[in-house]
Amino acid sequence: MELHEGPAQHFERPARHAATVARMKKDGLEDKCALIAAREATDEELLTCHSREHLAYVANAFDHTSDEAVQGVGDIYWTEHTERCARTAAGSACEAANAVASGTCHRAFAVVRPPGHHAECARAMGFCFYNNTAVAARAALAAHSHVNRVLLLDWDVHHGNGIQDVLYDDDRVMYVSLHRYGEGFYPGTGAMDEVGTGQGAGYNVNVPWTEKGLTDADYLAAFDLVIDPIAQAFDPDLVIIAAGFDAAEGDPLGGMKVSDQGYALMTERLLQLAGGKCVAALEGGYGLTATASAAASTLGAMLGFATPPLSSRRRPKRSTVETLGKIIDVHKEKWPVLASETHRSMYRATLEATRVAGKEKN
């Protein structure tokens, strides 16, 4: 997967993968894991999310008659290895999901690239060619009769427009995305009122952040007030994390301040679902140290290493809680737990706590 290599200055580069693997080895995490062999996705798997024309496009986009070793412009580049690397990323995510769904292992982290969550049914974009996690979710549903519901949680700082595009009418996969939104931030999708269509109405949950600099406390408030209650009501058989780490503090693109502790705590929340059956697949994250460290913390939490809770002095911003209140209003008809008196009391208490924290630094 490191053979897909573009211009030296490109953010989506092989060093992302190499640094993450190296950090997991350095921290002794790899020794505590069984290795799953990487493989290419089959046409059958890819066609659950992509058109046949898209498969042909990705296979033939690179011009082998050209003298240019790297081709393409903008957010997508092609090399002679791109199609095979993209298939391997998607196939490895599928293999990890199948291993967890079958009981071969309880949890899995697929360290893959190129990423996938921007890839739409018939369009490669945003560094992405095939939609790794969406394909993995559909593969698990197809291959395992006991897997009927999958939660796909995307904490990449960019909205997964591709996942939303593919799954928008599917009530078997709940897509939840926490992402920056507005002021021209890429890709521009992911408004809170984008909730799904047809049978999928209510199964697409967007948490759009309209300001930079949010911290662990803001993200965990989203779990407390929106994600945990809806996900528990959905009751998934498998959890897949589209694990982008560009909301990590120090990322050159994200502008957020999520710490390693924050990623571990979010992971612990997700492990409380589906009997702990969880798969993470690497998405974005463009600061090598920040990405590798956050990914290692996520894997550590998946392995059961305990993470200390946030200090009680670290509270979400008032604007964060107000945004979450609007999301609750959007989804409370579909998910009545959000309208319960217990939940309303929790919301009021969280909002009141932001007054106490007023001048404290998150």
What is the rounded CA–CA span in Å between residue 288 and residue 326?
A: 35
- Determine the residue type at 12: E
Question: Which residues, other chains included, contact 288 with Cβ-Cβ below 8 Å and sequence gap of 6+?
Answer: 15, 16, 19
**Contact present, 249 and 259 (Cβ < 8 Å):** yes
Which helix (DSSP H) or strand (DSSP E) does residue 176 occupy? Answer: strand 173-180
Question: Which residues, other chains included, contact 169 with Cβ-Cβ below 8 Å and sequence gap of 6+?
Answer: 196, 197, 198, 199, 200
- Determine the residue type at 261: Q
* Annotated catalytic residue 118: yes
- Torsion sign over Cα 342, 229, 215, 193: negative
169 is written with which tokens? 């009418």
Question: Which residues, other chains included, contact 275 with Cβ-Cβ below 8 Å and sequence gap of 6+?
Answer: none
- Choosing from 54, 118, 158, 159, the catalytic residue is 118
Nearest C-alpha neighbor of 266 from the set 312, 215, 337: 215
Catalytic residue list: 118
